[in-house]
Amino acid sequence: MNADRIVHTFAGTLILASLALAHWHSPYWLWLTVFVGLNLFQSGLTNWCLGTRILVKLGVPKDGACGL
């Protein structure tokens, strides 16, 4: 898995988890969904993502292992 796929998978997991927590625990968990959504929006506009940058520095390839 490359860094971009890991970041997208993690973001999706956070969104689903925050929606479940908002449903069963407290609606304040929706702020996590807002935060993740804003970060995805910012990343799409600027092509810069802190999560991807951290993973690349840890040695995770930015592109696919096969160059895809």
> What pTM does this model have?
0.82
pLDDT at 57: 96
Residues 6 or more apart in contact with residue 49 via CB below 8 angstroms: 4, 7, 39, 43
Long-range contacts of 37-45 (CB under 8 A, 24+ apart): 39/11, 40/11
Q: What is the pLDDT of residue 62?
A: 86
Domain spans of the chain, in order of start? 3-57
- Residue 48 and residue 40: Cα distance in Å, rounded? 10
Q: How many Å apart are CA 63 and CA 1, to the nearest integer? A: 9
The per-residue pLDDT for range 9-62, each reduced to its tens digit, is 999 999 999 999 999 999 999 999 999 999 999 999 999 999 999 999 999 998
